[in-house]
Chain A
Amino acid sequence: MLELTAFQAAAAVADGSLSAAELFAAYRERAAADRAAGEEGLNCFTWVAPEGGGEPTSGPVAGVPLAVKDLFCTAGVPSQSGSRILEGYEPPYTATAVERMTAAGASLLAKTNQDEFAMGSSNENSAYGPVRNPWRRSRVPGGSSGGSAAAVAAGLAPWALGTDTGGSIRQPAALCGIVGLKPTYGAVSRYGMIAFASSLDQAGPLTRDVRDAALALAQMVGRDPCDATSLELPGAVALPSAERLDGVRLGVPEELAGAAAGIEAGVQEAFQTALARAEALGAQLHDVRLPHAPHALSAYYVLAPAEASSNLARFDGVRYGTRAPDAGDLLEMYTRTRHDGFGAEVKRRIMLGTYALSSGYYDAYYGRAQRVRTKIAEDFAAAFDDVDLILTPTAPTVAFELGEKTDDPLAMYLSDFCTVPMSLAGIPAISIPCGLSDGLPVGLQIAGPAFSENRLLDAAHALELALAFDGSAARV
């Protein structure tokens, strides 16, 4: 039963051929074992449901266990966003995305490890230890939703929720050989997601296949009165069924997939194979230009840290979280609480963001970055005049060694080179596995215009069938 996708498991529970309690117990046991193994295991989880969980539920995904990234608030369950400063923090309310999944019948299986406050591309920035890649344990799973990606790839959870600010669903999905979907900005409520960069953060599923991604998305989307930036998709999310790509115009942008994009050879090879498959399915391939995409990372590393510096100001040791002991006065209480509670990368980004917003620098950094953002969105809009969808590799490399990039923030940031432009434009994008390079998975990114989720999922579904990626080698 652990081989079933979420869709299959829900169907089996619904027709009585599978016991929801047994399914939950089986996953719970595997998750608990990984948690008990600590860094000897994959270290996917920061909390696992107690035994006996998984009460009967009803709804479209009734009885399917769900792993949820740590930064989603879950009432009465630790929600620490991978940070020391929130160690043991139990919120009094549950995030809308999680609430909608459980209202649809999913049961909360575990909270997954992540980079602290979602800042990272390797899951090495967690205060709760790094996560290992189930394909090769010396490698990173990607980040920041690394625990969610590794857990799904390893078969420790049928599916998981993650969040994506500049690639944090798509890149770990790619590095772990699973499907990861970042919806249109606003499609899923951010209420209850511990914020990293508010204008970019978006929740989405990490799943074994494209149909599961659609199934999860369908439960979560829609306007939430608690999130002013949430919106209604123009139509219902449909489960994908396409097997062909006849007449679909696919754009390949030189800036993100060409020679100058820094794509390693093995990844490029798998990407080209996927393009050939797409053509074989009837798609037309077009060259498109995204002239400002190479500047996306720079704009992102102004905008995201700036918003983060403000979003993380609330961690001040007053109302929740840890507080540095024995501070002599208020200023010392603040500065030591934050010094001790935040990890190195978080501090780096708070400093960067504070600097970029500070008096005299706003126009040069924040103001310009917002204008670059406009240009990037315009580039996509122009490209989508000519093509239906855009294809790129999800990440320039396959999973890298733990520790390989921890001393070089810039090298780490380049992991998101292909995913950040879509985040800045607020458009949906999905990563599906498209092959192996050196025995490690390669991700194919498909992006579409805002609200094109159904078209995106159909294309991903057709390609998934054609590519027939086998992820079983990663199962624990």
Chain B
Amino acid sequence: MSEDRVSPGAQGELEAVIGLEIHVQLATATKMFCGCALSFGEPPNTHTCPVCLGLPGSLPVANARAIHFGLMIGLALGSELAPRSIFHRKNYFYPDLPKGYQISQYDEPLCRGGSLGEVRIHRVHLEEDAAKLIHVGASGRIHGSDASIVDFNRGGTPLAEIVTEPDLRSPEQAGEWLRLLRSTLRSLGVSDVNMEEGSLRCDANISLRAAGTEALGVKTELKNMNSFRFIERGIRAEVARQQKLLQGGQELVQETLHFDPGSGAITSLRSKEEAHDYRYFPEPDLLPVSIDEDMLAAARAAMSELPAERSERLQRELSLSGESARSLAFRAELGDFFEAAVAAPAEPAAPAQALANWVTGELAARLPEGQEPRDSRVSPAALAALVGLVAAKRVSVGAGRQVLERLIAEGGDPQAIVAAEGLEALDDGDELAAIVAAALAANSDAAERVRQGNAKAIGPIVGQVMRDTKGRADGTEVSRLIHEQLGV
């Protein structure tokens, strides 16, 4: 093994070097090069035409909106937008590729460079998606071999391929960054960015090197991980595999790998095929794409606030913590709900940070899997009213949670729920003090342990008070009264 390679015996830490390649299906009405409407699970081969079936004599014509979306992505990533870019043919045979080549971009992509967060962007280019192969296995055997059927509905869907520089250092960072990219693309409105449905697909290039060095190790490519969880787990598994090999003194092979989320196994996709030779050449059926001032102006005008900008604004204007601001900005639905709640009149007023905590914490945790706040029964104004009551201590945190659950279940007005259920905070100090005294008496063993300094023993006493007050008591006040009455 040469000196500049990652040396396995070294005591120094190995660091992961990760770059991502993301394919994003663009949310156009029609395919990249023909007028077929995009397909969303329709019966096979009902969204095809001579162009996307690759019929003899058919010709591609590029979708103006796909290029518009490509420019918006480039603007969002701070890329250099090529005034003139060209499409190439990438030649290879596969049943999901009707023409025997994919129209893609090669050495003159639409966008070059840029960054998102701490990760630099290498390039963004446009291309067409492949069709779907459905393996029917032995049931559809052709002359004794397993068979597949090809469905060209997806074939030709516009894709933006975003390639990062190898700037990521951990699986978690990769997952976090991909979330930022996803919310960025979503706020641009250029894609559904749904990983499970395949509108966002991610490959990772992974290598290891001695921490603090610049040389790059042998890299592997981990293909098509279709959820955030799998991406982090897949990368983690591959990093571990490489670590083990290198520390065992073995050589890594540059190859393409598949991660099986079920078993956690990583397998090589290398077939018996010879190395690919895509024979790229300029697509003669399409002229170069020239980006004029009008196209640039239209892309700029269509840009909405990006997550990174939104996070900064929320911190600046509403004094939110960085963490809250990012949570709201990176999950645009939460951010939108939050901002609507901030704008809603609430009496007493809901402090922004408290509202942010309720949106990202209490509310987000209680919504059923997959439901976004705007699809729930809770209105932003209702949440603002509730948080206002809690902040003014007119409703305890515990009672507030009960109200939220009612809002999620049935909707309604927090004030009215509080009144109907008698959930007002106990503002009469004497009444609460009496309830605390009764609870201490009923839990004398626990009271004694608290007196002797066992802080945890306070639990059952607080629980008793909460039960007796139906949660209307303020937890901090209860705790203070217990200590006061016990003289500790």
Contacts and interface: CB of A to CB of B under 8 A. Distances in A.
Q: Do chains A and B touch in the complex (CB under 8 A)?
A: yes
Interface of A: 71-73, 79, 81, 86, 89, 91-93, 95, 190-195, 197-199, 225-229, 306-307, 309-310, 312-316, 318-320, 325-330, 334, 354, 357-359, 362, 366
Contact of A225 (B61, B99, B142, B285): B61
Given A314-B99, A359-B277, A191 B58 contact: yes
B18 to A, nearest CB: 28
B100 interface: yes
B456 interface: no
* Contact-residue size bin, chain B (C-beta under 8 Å from the other chain): 20 to 34
A93 B50 contact: yes
B97 to A, nearest CB: 9
A86 B56 contact: yes
Contact of A318 (B50, B59, B89, B150): B150
A79 B56 contact: yes
B93 to A, nearest CB: 6
Contacts of B286: 228-229
19 contacts: A79-B56, A79-B57, A91-B56, A91-B57, A93-B55, A228-B59, A228-B286, A229-B285, A310-B89, A314-B56, A315-B56, A316-B95, A318-B98, A318-B150, A328-B145, A354-B279, A357-B280, A359-B277, A359-B279
Interface in B65-100: 89, 91, 93, 95, 98-100
B57 A307 contact: no
Contacts of A354: 279
A136 B53 CA distance: 43
B57 A227 contact: no
A262 B176 CA distance: 70
A84 B93 CA distance: 20
B215 interface: no
Contacts of A327: 142-143
A373 to B, nearest CB: 12
A314 B287 contact: no
Given A198-B285, A313-B93, A319 B279 contact: no
B169 to A, nearest CB: 33
B159 to A, nearest CB: 19
A366 B88 CA distance: 14
Contacts of A319: 53-55, 98
A197 B287 CA distance: 15
B60 A228 contact: yes
Given A307-B284, A357-B91, A73 B57 contact: yes
A72 B61 CA distance: 19
Given A190-B59, A191-B58, A328-B145, A310 B53 contact: no
B177 interface: no
B103 to A, nearest CB: 11
B101 A92 contact: no
B144 interface: yes
B56 A89 contact: yes
A315 B98 CA distance: 9
A440 B296 CA distance: 60
A194 B338 CA distance: 57
Given A72-B57, A89-B56, 14 more contacts: A79-B56, A95-B57, A193-B57, A226-B61, A228-B60, A228-B62, A229-B59, A309-B91, A313-B99, A315-B56, A327-B142, A354-B279, A357-B279, A359-B279
Contacts of A79: 56-57
A91 B50 contact: yes
Contact of B93 (A192, A195, A320, A334): A334
A391 B273 CA distance: 52
B52 to A, nearest CB: 11
Contacts of B50: 91-93
Contacts of A227: 59, 61
A321 to B, nearest CB: 8
